[in-house]
C-alpha cells in the first residue's frame, strides 16, 4: 500500500507513447520515395492513404471510409455531405469539446445544445423536446470522454423523428454499444487521429459511412478533384457522376506520411484498448467507495475505451473544487474541471461558446459542477494508477474533512452560480 498522505506522482499526463518502430520505418519509406500526396501514385500503387481507408473500413465493418486532415474537418465534412447549410439548426449534446459546436458554426449553421444526464450522456427526453422545438434534422452526437448513451433508444427516437445522426467518435474509436462499433449506428461516424486520441498521427481524421451518395460527396468535398477512382474504400465512379458538378472542393485531405504511421498503429489498436481499460479499472478500484468521491458507473451495453476517467467530488462548492485540484496538482496529479466557469486549456463549458444562442442548461450545469477529468496515457503503469488514485482519494477525504469543519461556508450546498 502506498502512503497516501505523502506520495507524489512524477510522471506526465500529456506524454503519449512513442511512435512504434515499424511505423517510423513505414514513414521513412514514404519520405524516401517522396510521394506524400495521396494521389501521387505510381502505376499499380494503392498508396498508404487509400490502404488506411480500406483497413479502417474493415476494422469498423463500414462499406466506405475517407481519411482527412483532422477530426474537426471530418465533422464539418460529414455535416456538409448530409446537406447542412447556412442557417440550418444542428443538435448536439452540451457536454462536448469545443471543435464540435465549432464544426457546426463553420458551415454557418447553428448549434442547438441538448442536456446531458449525470451519466454524461445525451438526455433522450430533452433531445425529443429540442427536436420538436428546433425543427433540426441532424444530430451531431458526441460520445464525449467515451460515454455512450443507449444507442438503440437514441436511434429509434431519431429514426421516428426523421433526424439523421452523425457520431463524433473522437473518444470511442475501438468502443461499441451492444457489440455494434461506435460510429456504425448513425449515417456517418467521425474519428480523430490527433495525438491525444486512440491513434496518433499528430493531426488527422477518419470518416465512415455506408451510403454511396453521402460518401461520394464527402470524398469530393475533401479535395479529391476528379481522382476519386484512386480510392479503395469508396463507391463506384458512377455515383460520383451524380455529385461531382455540385459538390465544392473544400480541401482537407490526409497525406501518405500520416497514413503510413496510422496503418501500423491500427493493427495494435485492440491491444491498446485493452491496455487503456486495465488502467481505467485500476483507477476505478482505487477510487470506488472512497469518501467524497463519486464514480460514473458504466452501463452494461457499453464496451468503452478507458483513455480517460471522470469522477465527481461530492462536496462541490467551487472553492472546494479549486482547493482539491490545487492539492492534487501539488502532488503531481493533473485534473481538469468541466464545471469551471472559465475555459482553461483544452477544457471549456457550453456557456463559453457565446457565438450562438443557448438557453440555460440547468441539468448539464449540475452534471458538470463537480466533474473532474483525468487523462490515462498508456505511458502510465498500473502501479502509477494505484499511486494516482491513492493521491486523489486522500485529497478528496482531506477536502471533505475541511468542509465538515466549516459547515456555514461550504458543505453540500448547490454549486455556485459562477
The gap between the terminal CA atoms of the chain, to the nearest Å, is 39
Angle between helix 256-267 and helix 48-60 axes, rounded to 10 deg: 30
- Distance separating alpha carbons of residues 361 and 364, to the nearest angstrom: 6
Of 169 and 394, which has the nearer Cβ to ligand PLP?
169
- Distance separating alpha carbons of residues 414 and 404, to the nearest angstrom: 15
Instruction: Give me the least distance between CB of 70 and ligand PLP, in Å please.
Output: 4
Of 176 and 194, which has the nearer Cβ to ligand PLP?
194
CB count, 10 Å around CB of 62? Answer: 22
> Is-contact 329 9, C-beta < 8 A?
no
Of 205 and 286, which has the nearer Cβ to ligand PLP?
205
Instruction: Give me the least distance between CB of 127 and ligand PLP, in Å please.
Output: 18
The set of cell numbers assigned to 87 is 442557417
Of 294 and 373, which has the nearer Cβ to ligand PLP?
373
Instruction: Give me the least distance between CB of 171 and ligand PLP, in Å please.
Output: 6
Q: Using CB under 6 A as the criterion, which residues of the chain lie in contact with ligand PLP when the complex forms? A: 70-72, 96-97, 99-100, 142, 144, 168, 170-171, 192, 194, 205
Of 70 and 272, which has the nearer Cβ to ligand PLP?
70
Q: Measure the CA angle with vertex 393, ends 392 and 394; round to 5°.
A: 95
Instruction: Give me the least distance between CB of 194 and ligand PLP, in Å please.
Output: 4
User: Which secondary-structure segment (H or E) carries 239?
Assistant: helix 237-243
Distances 112 to 78, 127, 329, 358, 404 between C-alpha atoms, Å? 17, 10, 35, 7, 40
- Distance separating alpha carbons of residues 261 and 301, to the nearest angstrom: 32
Q: Which of 358, 359, 337 is nearest to 346 (CA)?
A: 337
Sheet with strand 164-168: strands edge to edge: 64-68, 205-209, 188-192, 164-168, 138-142, 89-93, 110-114
Of 142 and 256, which has the nearer Cβ to ligand PLP?
142
Return the SS3 of 167. Answer: strand
The set of cell numbers assigned to 416 is 455556485
Of 65 and 391, which has the nearer Cβ to ligand PLP?
65
Of 74 and 316, which has the nearer Cβ to ligand PLP?
74
Of 205 and 223, which has the nearer Cβ to ligand PLP?
205
Instruction: Give me the least distance between CB of 205 and ligand PLP, in Å please.
Output: 5
Instruction: Give me the least distance between CB of 221 and ligand PLP, in Å please.
Output: 16
Instruction: Give me the least distance between CB of 99 and ligand PLP, in Å please.
Output: 4
- The torsion of the CA quartet 123, 162, 74, 64, rounded to 10 degrees, works out to 120
Instruction: Give me the least distance between CB of 377 and ligand PLP, in Å please.
Output: 15
Q: Which residues of 270-295 are buried (b: 16+ CB within 10 A; e: fewer)?
A: eebbebbbebbebbbebbeebebbbe
The set of cell numbers assigned to 123 is 438526455
Instruction: Give me the least distance between CB of 295 and ligand PLP, in Å please.
Output: 21
Of 142 and 340, which has the nearer Cβ to ligand PLP?
142
C-alpha neighbours within 13 Å on the C-beta side of residue 314: 18
Instruction: Give me the least distance between CB of 168 and ligand PLP, in Å please.
Output: 5
- Which position's Cβ is nearest ligand PLP? 71
Amino acid at each position: 500500500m502506498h502512503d497516501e498522505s505523502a506520495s507524489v506522482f512524477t510522471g506526465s499526463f500529456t506524454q503519449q507513447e512513442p511512435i512504434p518502430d515499424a511505423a517510423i520505418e513505414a514513414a521513412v519509406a514514404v519520405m524516401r520515395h517522396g510521394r506524400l500526396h495521396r494521389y501521387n501514385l505510381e502505376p499499380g500503387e494503392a498508396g498508404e492513404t487509400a490502404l488506411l481507408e480500406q483497413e479502417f473500413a474493415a476494422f469498423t465493418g463500414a462499406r466506405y471510409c475517407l481519411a482527412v486532415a483532422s477530426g474537426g474537418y471530418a465533422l464539418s465534412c460529414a455535416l456538409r455531405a448530409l446537406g447542412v447549410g447556412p442557417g440550418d439548426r444542428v443538435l448536439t449534446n452540451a457536454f462536448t469539446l469545443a471543435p464540435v459546436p465549432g464544426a457546426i458554426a463553420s458551415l454557418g449553421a447553428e448549434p442547438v445544445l441538448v442536456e446531458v444526464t449525470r451519466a454524461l450522456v445525451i438526455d433522450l427526453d430533452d433531445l425529443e423536446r429540442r427536436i420538436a422545438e428546433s425543427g433540426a434534422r441532424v444530430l451531431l452526437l458526441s460520445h464525449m470522454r467515451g460515454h455512450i448513451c443507449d444507442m438503440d433508444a437514441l436511434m429509434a427516437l431519431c429514426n421516428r423523428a426523421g433526424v439523421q445522426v452523425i457520431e463524433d467518435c473522437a473518444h470511442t474509436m475501438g468502443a461499441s454499444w451492444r457489440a455494434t462499433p461506435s460510429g456504425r449506428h448513425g449515417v456517418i461516424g467521425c474519428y480523430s487521429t490527433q495525438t491525444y486520441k486512440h491513434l496518433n498521427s499528430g493531426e488527422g481524421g477518419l470518416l465512415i459511412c455506408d451510403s454511396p451518395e453521402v460518401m461520394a460527396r464527402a470524398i469530393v468535398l475533401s479535395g479529391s478533384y476528379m481522382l476519386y477512382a484512386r480510392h479503395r474504400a469508396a463507391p463506384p465512379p458512377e455515383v460520383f457522376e451524380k455529385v461531382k458538378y455540385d459538390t465544392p472542393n473544400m480541401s482537407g485531405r490526409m497525406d501518405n506520411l500520416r497514413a503510413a504511421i496510422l496503418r501500423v498503429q491500427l493493427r495494435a489498436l485492440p491491444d491498446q484498448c485493452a491496455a487503456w481499460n486495465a488502467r481505467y479499472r485500476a483507477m476505478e478500484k482505487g477510487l470506488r467507495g472512497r469518501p467524497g468521491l463519486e464514480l460514473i458507473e458504466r452501463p452494461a451495453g457499453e464496451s468503452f475505451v478507458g483513455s480517460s476517467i471522470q469522477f465527481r467530488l461530492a462536496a462541490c462548492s467551487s472553492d472546494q473544487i479549486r482547493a482539491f485540484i490545487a492539492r492534487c496538482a501539488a502532488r503531481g496529479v493533473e485534473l481538469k474541471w468541466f464545471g469551471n466557469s472559465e475555459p482553461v486549456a483544452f477544457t471549456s463549458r457550453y456557456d463559453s461558446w457565446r457565438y450562438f444562442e443557448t438557453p440555460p442548461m440547468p441539468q448539464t450545469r449540475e452534471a458538470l459542477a463537480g466533474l473532474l477529468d483525468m487523462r490515462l496515457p498508456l505511458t502510465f503503469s498500473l502501479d502509477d494508477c494505484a499511486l494516482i488514485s491513492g493521491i486523489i482519494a486522500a485529497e478528496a477525504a482531506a477536502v471533505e474533512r475541511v468542509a465538515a469543519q466549516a459547515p456555514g461556508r461550504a458543505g453540500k450546498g448547490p454549486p455556485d452560480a459562477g
